[in-house]
DNA sequence: TTGTACGCGTTATCAT
DNA sequence: ATGATAACGCGTACAA
């Protein structure tokens, strides 16, 4: 089928050891034999077998990435960054789509482990006890991305959701708003749900703005439909609202859409700030003001941490990435 | 580090051959030894080494996927489908991000080849001569996804862009429109550019609608900004336009946005139909009528074809997937 | 039913 | 500077 190092050795009249040395840029051969071997390699179109290399080196130069979702800009931007960093380090990335399914996740973990990936990046999902136990038993390095683990000590990279939400709400307050509502995602979600709610509440409290149960409506997810339903519910329970913090851009766009159909002008009658800064944020009418997470950078950073961990062997510190308010046109000063 | 088949054999007091047979569900062992070995495997938490297996079986159960872009719902929906089909067949997928860069692509091809992936799916990008030669030389199976190759005979799966564009334009015509414009993507693009333009033109011609150079504006890409600029240009060169066919949803959304700022009401004054049916299509104001490509299914199909090819060894036929007009609210009947 | 031993394509150690 | 050869972990033909 494909040529082996043996074929090269034979044709170049050297031993496989010499070929190997040349391939790995070690020392122990003359310049003359080097060019001859290289010549033969070129002629044959020889490609070293990474599988055989992996078997002996115990390094596959492949990492695995677990995502709960694939068809979302949020998560593929992370992938974009991971792939970039991996490419630079000469590694490839295997993507696994868990769909938030425990069984599937475990199956993938098993698969990745059997394939002897060098490490794993676990993204945007809570790391369950069972996953952790498996990883620990399999002894395979892991980095958490856009999520964190309260119970286990695993390095992660994410933004501080509490602070980011605090910033968003504060931004609304600075703009003169006092009747501020929120459409939150799942409040049981300890990563993206609860912290954002609490950040929001803290900002209002610090500004001495009265806050009651009417201020926030809790949805199951972070999707467009959640946003359209959410706004309707919010309007019902908190009619005087003039500004809204949406826990995700999709929710914000949903709210935008609902407002349009309700004849509510954004931002004149209602200001809306989103969360994530997906590419759709700049495509809405009006373009969405939002707090951005540097998704791609986060992916790069996580992969970078993993590779450093692989080299040095010592656990890196977690990294909190900066968030930033991207001002567009969905928020208006209230006078 | 991790246990090997030897450890299992020793602890179970059998030979590695027996363990191997049990692992691979072959025959040649008693029920009694089977349960004993399985027991030991469980105790040890033994995981077979897929690398060693790959070396001997010449099958890695891994496929590679090349994408020109990662941060686009268009392409990640394809990935979604591929990953699903791969998961079902017990294979994993390595994703590579080429960024339309020839050097990078070649590098990735080389990498995938060295890793001995079982096959490759090449998506959404033209297969250059150099890529083809490499693949041919490396003798690695390949399927084209959402693209095709005029010069080389390689199985592909995609929709018929000409027909789909024809349908879109015809839909506008059926709705009573006569002044129909188009904002196209790159017309040099032989896959997604030219065929859509020609399909559009043919539909008008068949309906005996006069057609001149004013009807279509040619942009470089298929993005949101192309859409906003595109509409402005179109309006200038073809002021009487009442309906628009956009070569992508992003272009359509861009046009939607431009129309809004220009005070043009969609669909009352201008009807717009898009192309792709990305998830953003349902999130715009108004929700976008568009011709859908079954992206996820296409990915599944392509991967399915690849696995069948791997099993049977014989080249599958190319598949043309059906497109479909998704009626939402951006097109209005013209009376 | 079970075990021995060779080979898959490399790298690395020890000679020479 | 170069070459034999033993691993790496597994599958399998052959023998028992």
pLDDT per residue over A62-90, tens digit each?
999 999 999 889 999 999 999 999 999 99
Structure tokens at A139: 């002894």
In sequence order, what are the residues at sequence separation of 6 or more whose Cβ sits closer than 8 angstroms to the Cβ of residue B18?
B9, B28, B29, B33, B37
Q: Which residues does nucleic strand C approach, with CB less than 7 A?
A: A 1-2, 4-6, 16-17, 20, 23-24, 26, 46-49, 52-53, 55-57; B 13-18, 21, 27-30, 32-33, 52, 55-56
CATH node for B5-48 = 1.10.260.40
CA distance B55 to chain A (A): 6
In sequence order, what are the residues at sequence separation of 6 or more whose Cβ sits closer than 8 angstroms to the Cβ of residue A258?
A227, A228, A229, A230, A231, A232
- DSSP bridge pairs for A301: none
- State which residue of chain A sits closest to B64, comparing Cα positions: A94
pLDDT in tens, A110-165: 999 999 999 999 999 999 999 999 999 999 999 999 999 989 999 999 999 999 99
- DSSP bridge pairs for B67: B97
Q: Is A72 exposed, middle or buried (0-12, 13-18, 19+ CB in 10 A)?
A: buried
Of A50, A115, A260, the CB nearest to B114: A50
Contact (Cβ atoms closer than 8 angstroms) between residue A239 and residue A327: no
pLDDT in tens, B298-321: 999 999 999 999 999 999 999 999
Alpha carbon distance B311, B301 (integer Å): 15
Find residues 189-208 of chain B whose CB sits inside 8 Å of chain A.
none
Find residues 232-251 of chain B whose CB sits inside 8 Å of chain A.
250
Contact (Cβ atoms closer than 8 angstroms) between residue A196 and residue A202: no
pLDDT in tens, A210-237: 999 999 999 999 999 999 999 999 999 9
3-state secondary structure at position A186: coil
Largest separation between any pair of C-alpha atoms in chain B: 87
Alpha carbon distance A269, A263 (integer Å): 10
Find residues 99-128 of chain A whose CB sits inside 8 Å of chain B.
104, 110-116
At A25, the pLDDT band (50, 70, 90 cuts) reads confident
| Average pLDDT value for residue range A226-251 | 98
At A283, the pLDDT band (50, 70, 90 cuts) reads very high
pLDDT of residue B154: 96
The answer to whether residue A51 neighbours chain B at the CB level (below 8 Å) is yes
CA distance B265 to chain A (A): 13
Report the 10 Å Cβ neighbour count for B100: 11
CATH H-level superfamily of B60-159+295-321? Response regulator (3.40.50.2300)
At A26, the pLDDT band (50, 70, 90 cuts) reads confident
Largest separation between any pair of C-alpha atoms in chain A: 87
Domain boundaries, chain B: 5-48, 60-159+295-321, 161-292
Mean pLDDT (chain A) is 96
Our measurement of the distance from residue B131's CA atom to the centroid of its chain's CA atoms, rounded to an integer in Å, reads 18
A71:B77 CB<8 A: yes
Does residue A188 register a pLDDT over 90? yes
Whether domain B161-292 has CATH 2.60.40.420: the reply is no
* Edge-to-edge strands, sheet with B243-246: B216-218, B180-184, B243-246, B271-276, B289-292, B324-326
B114:A47 CB<8 A: yes
Question: Which nucleotides of chain C have an atom under 7 angstroms from any protein CB?
Answer: 1-5, 7-13
Report if pTM > 0.85.
yes
Report the 10 Å Cβ neighbour count for B106: 15
pLDDT in tens, B29-48: 989 999 999 999 999 999 99
- Length reported for chain A: 335
- Matching fold, domains B5-48 and B161-292: no
B137 contacts in chain A (CB < 8 Å): 45
Contact (Cβ atoms closer than 8 angstroms) between residue A243 and residue A173: no
| Average pLDDT value for residue range B121-149 | 96
DSSP A236-255: HH-TT--EEEESSHHHHHHH
The answer to whether residue A76 neighbours chain B at the CB level (below 8 Å) is yes
With distances taken from each CA to the C1' atom of nucleotide D12, the closest residue turns out to be B17
Mean pLDDT (chain B) is 96
At B54, the pLDDT band (50, 70, 90 cuts) reads very high
At A335, the pLDDT band (50, 70, 90 cuts) reads confident
| HEC sequence for A32-66 | HHHHHHHHHHHHHCCCCCHHHHHHHHCCCCEEEEE
pLDDT of residue B267: 97
| Average pLDDT value for residue range B263-280 | 97
DSSP A266-317: TTTT-EEEEEE--GGGGTSSSPPEEEE--HHHHHHHHHHHHHHHHHH-SPPP
3-state secondary structure at position B246: strand
Q: Is B29 exposed, middle or buried (0-12, 13-18, 19+ CB in 10 A)?
A: middle
CA→C1' distance for B17 and C4 (Å): 9
């Amino acid at each position: 089928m494909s040529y082996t190092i043996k074929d090269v050795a034979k044709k170049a009249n050297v031993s496989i050891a010499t070929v190997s040395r040349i391939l790995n840029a070690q020392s122990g051969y003359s310049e003359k034999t080097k060019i001859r071997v290289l010549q033969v390699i070129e002629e044959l179109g020889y490609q070293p077998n990474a599988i055989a290399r992996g078997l002996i080196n115990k390094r596959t130069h492949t990492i695995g990435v677990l995502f709960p979702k694939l068809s979302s800009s949020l998560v593929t931007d992370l992938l974009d960054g991971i792939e970039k960093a991996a490419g630079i380090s000469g590694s490839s990335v295997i993507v696994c789509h868990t769909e938030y399914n425990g069984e599937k996740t475990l199956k993938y973990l098993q698969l990745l482990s059997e394939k002897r990936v060098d490490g794993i990046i676990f993204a945007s999902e809570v790391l369950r006890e069972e996953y952790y136990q498996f990883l620990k038993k399999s002894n395979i390095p892991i980095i958490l991305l856009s999520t964190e683990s309260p119970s286990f000590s695993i390095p992660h990279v994410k933004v501080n959701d509490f602070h980011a939400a605090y910033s968003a709400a504060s931004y609304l307050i600075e703009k003169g708003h006092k009747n501020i509502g929120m459409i939150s995602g799942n409040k049981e979600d300890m990563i993206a749900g609860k912290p954002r709610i609490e950040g929001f509440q803290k900002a209002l409290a610090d500004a001495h703005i009265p806050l009651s149960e009417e201020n926030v409506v809790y949805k199951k997810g972070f999707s467009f439909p959640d946003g359209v339903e959410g706004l309707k519910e919010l309007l019902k329970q908190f009619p005087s609202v003039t500004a809204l913090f949406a826990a995700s851009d999709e929710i914000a766009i949903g709210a935008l859409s609902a407002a349009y159909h309700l004849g509510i002008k954004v931002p004149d009658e209602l200001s809306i700030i989103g969360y994530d800064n997906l590419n759709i944020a700049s495509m809405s009418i009006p373009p969405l003001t939002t707090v951005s997470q540097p998704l791609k950078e986060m992916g790069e950073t996580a992969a970078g941490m993993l590779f450093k961990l692989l080299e040095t062997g010592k656990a890196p510190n977690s990294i909190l990435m900066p968030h930033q308010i991207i001002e567009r046109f969905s928020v208006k000063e209230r006078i």
